[in-house]
Amino acid sequence: MKLWRSLQSGLLGVAVLWSTVSVAAAKDLPDFTELVEKQGPAVVNISTTQTVSGGAANPFAEGDPAYEFFKRFMPQLPKQRDYQTRSLGSGFIISADGVILTNAHVVDGADEITVKLTDKREFKAKLIGADKRTDVAVLKIEASKLPIVTLGDPDKLKVGEWVLAIGSPFGLENTVTAGIVSAKGRTLPDDTYVPFIQTDAAVNPGNSGGPLFNMRGEVIGINSQIYSRSGGFMGLSFSIPIDVAMDVANQLKSNGRISRGKLGINIQEVSKDIAESLGLGAPSGALVVGVEKGSAADRAGLKAGDVILKFDNKPIGASSELPRVVGSTKPGSKVQLQVWRNKASQDVTVTLGEVVDDSAKAKPAAPPKPDALVRIGLQVTELNAAQKRQLDVGFGLLVTSAQGAAARAGVEEGDVIIGVSNETLKSQQQLLLLLERAPKGSVVALLIRRDDSTLYIPVRVPEK
């Protein structure tokens, strides 16, 4: 009997201890309920329709003999018809009179936009403006006294803190998902103007345009993209910082368009080997690999081989940072750059131009036959007059074969060498002389034109 009472007492103690641990653990977990109740009503569902022209009933093109056969003997074929496509997304209200933020891709090409609130009211929305470069769009519905979100400061966001996403994944309205901030300042392909916030909050098709909240109930981003091999969530979600989105939204509301500063240069990352070849102490900054004629950079005297270390006193740690700070600066502004040139730092003042639509770039002509073998494993031949005009260069050496050190570094057949380190090539002899003078084991940076892009490729001179 005493043994049984002792056992009962022990079990009771374990139960009390387990209950205490469970309560403590529960207190440590984030509670999103109050946030959702307060901010959820300002999140909206967005649906769009777009009219698309159907294909012709006659499966053959005009001019094909079979086209006339179908036209004459099968008149009962249905005529061409239009059909409608529908898409779903999310958004959130930023002013009580009905201004809404969402993604540009959510409303791209839409003939009709419908906004549905959490109280089931529906409104036809007007597109105020959209910017595809940042994927931000502004809508307006005719309503008043609407619930609005509270905006936060993405700069205060810390990696590892909890965040919450609300949206309509796969049309499931007002779905709440949570996660943490995985990284900040992410650069994605073709998205040079947005320093994305990466999270592991579950985001799926339909979440696009919805808000990302911090634990204080403030919107710190717009859910925009996911990385996925399957089309569904895989733990990698990307959001546009709300300060970037609001800058775009304010310009769209005021001017109906976005005005961005432009330098007029092509850049690439500064690798360790390139930094060594240019005498730069650390691999940082943005390496200039091309300057557009007549651009702000050209007027200021920037040239290929320069490394931009600072823009308006803001350090440029990586090349991806430069387009963001330039794009966010007003065209016509005078800005001071800190530039690394000829193994020394110097200041350059530039008056920014304005971003316009990209124009088509010339492509090199078919490569001529091999001509010469250079020290690092290249066979090259000089461009003819027509090819130089097409590429808009004074001189260039077309690579007809790449082997050895050059091939290992990434030089390819069809590349055009237009410079070495800070020097613009004017002859093949100049290249040979520079390579002969380069110490064994050192790095020589070749300025290469490849298709419609320009880049530096660091080639290490063989020891033997």
Contact 110, 91 (CB under 8 A): no
Q: Per the residue annotation, which of 131, 135, 191, 415 is the catalytic one?
A: 135
Q: Per the residue annotation, which of 47, 87, 182, 208 is the catalytic one?
A: 208
Contact 265, 452 (CB under 8 A): no
The candidate with the shortest Cα–Cα distance to 312, out of 266, 355, 263, 271, is 263
Please say if 208 is a catalytic residue. Answer: yes
Annotated ligand binding at 414? The verdict is: no
Tell me the longest C-alpha to C-alpha distance in the chain. Answer: 108
The candidate with the shortest Cα–Cα distance to 221, out of 117, 81, 103, 86, is 103
Annotated ligand binding at 207? The verdict is: yes
Please say if 224 is a catalytic residue. Answer: no
> CA–CA separation, 204 vs 223, rounded Å?
10
Say how far residue 381 (Cα) sits from the centre of its chain. Answer: 37
Pairing state of beta strands 307-311 and 397-402?
Answer: unpaired
User: HEC states along the chain?
Assistant: CHHHHHHHHHHHHHHHHHHHHHHHHHHHCCCCHHHHHHHHHHEEEEEEEEEEECCCCCCCCCCCHHHHHHHHHCCCCCCCCEEEEEEEEEEEEEECCCEEEECHHHHCCCCEEEEECCCCCEEEEEEEEEECCCCEEEEECCCCCCCCCEECCHHHCCCCCEEEEEECHHHCCCEEEEEEEEEEEEEECCEEEEEEEEECCCCCCCCCCCEEEECCCEEEEEEEEECCCCCCCCCCEEEEEHHHHHHHHHHHHHHCCCCCEECCEEEEECCHHHHHHCCCCCCCCEEEEEECCCCHHHHHCCCCCCEEEEECCEECCCCCHHHHHHHCCCCCCEEEEEEEECCEEEEEEEECEECCCCCCCCCCCCCCCCCEECCCCEEEEECCHHHHHHHCCCCCEEEEEECHHHHHHCCCCCCEEEEECCEECCCHHHHHHHHHHCCCCCEEEEEEEECCEEEEEEEECCCC
Please say if 105 is a catalytic residue. Answer: yes
Q: Per the residue annotation, which of 105, 108, 271, 328 is the catalytic one?
A: 105
Annotated ligand binding at 208? The verdict is: yes
Residues annotated within the binding site are 105, 135, 206-208
Active site residues: 105, 135, 208
Residues annotated within the binding site for substrate are 105, 135, 206-208
